[in-house]
Amino acid sequence: MNDLVKRLAEGSHAVEISLRPERTVKLFREMLDRGHVLVKFTETRGGTELGVPMDKTRSDLTQANFEQETGTVKVAGEITLDYVPVRVWAEVELPSMKGQGHLEILGEERVS
C-alpha cells in the first residue's frame, strides 16, 4: 500500500479547505451546497489536496452558523487514492476553515 495513504490513515492530521479564487465562508457554503469539497492535508510534501464528494449522511453541518461564520463543519466522503478506496474525514472550524482530518481505509486492505 502507498506510504501516503498509510500515513494519512494513522492518527489525525492538519487540514484546510481549499477554495479559489479566495477563501471565504460564503464560497465554502456554496461548495458544500454543491456536495463536493476540496480538503487539503497540509503536512505532506507540498500538501495533498483531495476532491471529496460529500456523503451527506456522514457529514454534519448542524454545528456551523454560516451567517455569523462560527462553529464546526464535519465533512466525510469516499474516494480512491492511489488505487486504495478510502473515506476522507475532516472537521474544520469557521471562519479559518482549518482543522483536523484523516483517511479511513475501506474494503479488505487495511493498514498493518
pLDDT category of residue 108 using cuts at 50, 70 and 90: low
Rounded alpha-carbon distances, angstroms, from residue 33 to 36, 37, 43, 77, 95: 8, 10, 27, 14, 17
What nine digits make up the cell of 6?
498509510
CATH of 3-105, one of 3.40.50.720, 1.10.3720.10, 2.40.250.10, 2.20.28.10: 2.40.250.10
Q: Is residue 25 predicted with pLDDT exceeding 70? A: yes
pLDDT category of residue 110 using cuts at 50, 70 and 90: very low
**DSSP β-bridge partners for residue 86:** 79, 105
Share of the chain above pLDDT 70, in %: 96
Say whether 29 sits in a helix, a strand or coil.
helix
Give me the chain's average pLDDT, please. Answer: 93
- Has this prediction a pTM greater than 0.85? yes
Instruction: Give 53-60 contacts, CB < 8 A, sequence gap 24+.
Output: 53/77, 53/78, 53/79, 55/87, 58/87
CA distance 68 to 20: 21
- Whether 111 and 105 have beta carbons less than 8 Å apart is answered as yes
